[in-house]
Structure 1
């Protein structure tokens, strides 16, 4: 398999004109029943992402090709399941590995539509769940709607790291960038790795450890940010190299979701909805997390008084470190992810948190794209939110774990918050575009 992988990547490197088709096919195979388990699609997607980022393809082209390929793989898998139904168990490979379809079927029957969203990020389940959905006669329009949503986050999560690596190798970057980036990435990998391991093993001290690790990483960043100029300037140059007029409008829309007024209204709505639904402890956890994150961010911002990047025509007058947009977004969406995962196994709780972090990460990256925050600003904001969120969860669960919310309550809360987000962002878009222009 290693030799085959080396041959594929070497051939694509020598024939970059086929790279777009390769991204589409690899994404399709990665999401295709059975084939997605056998073929090392994740490694191949990273490799072709690096090639695309080296100048062969724009970021939007790379993501669109992967997104389309993933959707086609889902539809083919769904069609196979719909065609053969229970007879599918007798097909080659599945007959020899009944556990592949058995685990996916159990997962789908237990979590329904949510399994297609969560299982997208769980390797062995990703290619099997669409086939099981077809086998169990899930309505096609519902499957397509869920698949379109799941494939969008999946394409970003699996292609963006490779593309960014390729672009970083292509551009002239400041001296010290790679060393500083390696230190930051290694520290974050250690923190996330320890938290993930403790959660999967269902350790009682997982939440206190998460709070402590995030606090330690945040303290190191607060002390060391003056020594990360190469990292900040290099990533800023990489992101600014991708700016276009059309993408500016989209990023302004995303960044509006993290504005103070938006986060205040949506946070208040979340707390009010939980109180109306008599979810007292969940409401206390949400309100405490959002309020403490906002207060801590304001205090740190004025203490460090770090100037913003000199990108905008009319630079913002407030300070940049830590990023208020990043801390507010991560606090809000982490709260939603934690509430969604209550009462579920560790793997599912982690998957909910991953899904919750995607919109928060988009808001944080939009700040770097628009040139109003350094990368270390948004990293500090995310660590601050994660630390406070984990600490508040520890306090709220001293006597007993937070109970799982009823599906009706969860859907009401999520729908209302998303609707409020969309309404506020759209209403304020024209003013924001003028504010964040070059």
Structure 2
């Protein structure tokens, strides 16, 4: 496998004009029924994305090609299931590995549309679920709508890290950048690994441990942020170099989702809706998480008084550490992710948290893109929200686990909260565009 990968990357290095097609085809294969399980597409996608980030392709082109390839893989898989129906079970490779089909079928029948969104991030399920959807006659318009949404988040998660690594290797970054990046990445990986491990093992102390680990990591970051100057400068320069005028408006709209006013109204609406449906403990958990994060963020900003990057023509006057947008977004979406995972298996709960982190991470990254926060600011904001979210959950669950919200509650809560977030952000967009003017 290693020799084959080296041969492929070596050939693409000498023939960069084929790199775009390679990204498209590898993304397609990764989402293609059966082949997506056999071919190590995740490794390939990282390697190819890193080559694209080294200067061959822009970030937008890379993500668009991966997105299109993933959609094609979904469409082919769905068409195979729709054409063969139950006859798909007689394929030789599925006769030897019936567990591939059975596992995906049970998952789809249990979770329906949600399985196509969540299962996108579970390796063995990703290529099989679209075929199962076709085999069980899921309506094409419904499948297409879900696939368009799921493939977008998947392309970002699987291609952005590789592209960023390739772009970072190409730039003349400050001395000490890689040692600082390695230390921060290793620390975060250790924390996430311990949280995932204890959660999968169903340890009773998994949630308090997660709170403690996030708080310890936050403390270390707050005490040591001055020693990560080269990392902050390098990442900010990397992102600013790839700014695009066509993307500015989108990023301003995204960043509005994390504004204090937007998050305040969204939090109040979430709490009110949970009280209306008499989910008292869920409302208490949400209130403790959101209010605690907001108060702690304000206090830490005043305590550390860190200045913002000098990118805007009219710099914002408040302090930057931790990022209020990052902490508010992670607190809100992690709350939704935890509530969505109640009553499910540990793997499903972790998958819901992964999905919840996607919009929060997008909002946090928009702050670095707009030049109003350092990268360590948004990491600190995420750790702050994670620690208070886990701490609130541990306190609410001291005696009994938090109950699961029924489907009717979710059909009330989720659309209204998302509509409110979007409505406020769009309404305030003209004012925000005037605010974020660059030097």
TM-score grouping bracket, smaller chain normalisation: over 0.9
1:13 corresponds to: 13
2:221 corresponds to: 221
2:351 corresponds to: 351
When the two structures are superposed, what TM-score results if normalisation uses the length of structure 1? Answer: 0.99
| Offset at residue 95 of structure 1 (A) | 1.4
Matched, 1:239 2:239: yes
- What does residue range 44-193 of structure 1 map to in structure 2 within 5 Å? 44-193=44-193
Deviations 1:277-298 (A, max 9, x none): 1111000000110000000000
Displaced runs of 4 or more, over 4 A: none
2:303 corresponds to: 303
SS of structure 2 residue aligned to 1:316: coil
2:282 & 2:187 partners in 1: Cα distance? 31
SS of structure 1 residue aligned to 2:93: coil
Structure 2: tracts of 5 or more residues without a match: none
SS of structure 2 residue aligned to 1:389: helix
| Offset at residue 10 of structure 1 (A) | 1.5
1:93 & 1:202 partners in 2: Cα distance? 34
2:411 & 2:363 partners in 1: Cα distance? 23
1:113 & 1:128 partners in 2: Cα distance? 14
2:191 & 2:178 partners in 1: Cα distance? 20
| Offset at residue 244 of structure 1 (A) | 1.4
Deviations 1:313-335 (A, max 9, x none): 00000000000000000000000
Deviations 1:348-376 (A, max 9, x none): 00110000000000000000000000001
1:41 corresponds to: 41
1:401 & 1:276 partners in 2: Cα distance? 21
Matched, 1:429 2:419: no
Structure 1: tracts of 5 or more residues without a match: none
SS of structure 2 residue aligned to 1:7: helix
Between the two proteins, the alignment pairs up a number of residues equal to: 438
1:412 corresponds to: 412
| Offset at residue 246 of structure 1 (A) | 1.1
| Offset at residue 203 of structure 1 (A) | 1.2
| Offset at residue 3 of structure 1 (A) | 2.4
1:322 & 1:283 partners in 2: Cα distance? 25
1:265 corresponds to: 265
| Offset at residue 12 of structure 1 (A) | 1.1
1:353 & 1:230 partners in 2: Cα distance? 31
| Offset at residue 92 of structure 1 (A) | 2.5
SS of structure 1 residue aligned to 2:383: helix
1:2 & 1:184 partners in 2: Cα distance? 28
When the two structures are superposed, what TM-score results if normalisation uses the length of structure 2? Answer: 0.99
1:317 corresponds to: 317
Deviations 1:103-150 (A, max 9, x none): 000111111111001110000000000001100111110000011111
2:30 corresponds to: 30
1:39 & 1:152 partners in 2: Cα distance? 21
1:11 & 1:404 partners in 2: Cα distance? 52
1:268 & 1:8 partners in 2: Cα distance? 53
1:129 & 1:13 partners in 2: Cα distance? 34
Deviations 1:201-248 (A, max 9, x none): 111111011001001100100110000000000000011011111111
SS of structure 2 residue aligned to 1:335: helix
SS of structure 2 residue aligned to 1:228: helix
Matched, 1:365 2:362: no
1:11 & 1:196 partners in 2: Cα distance? 38
Matched, 1:253 2:256: no
| Offset at residue 412 of structure 1 (A) | 1.2
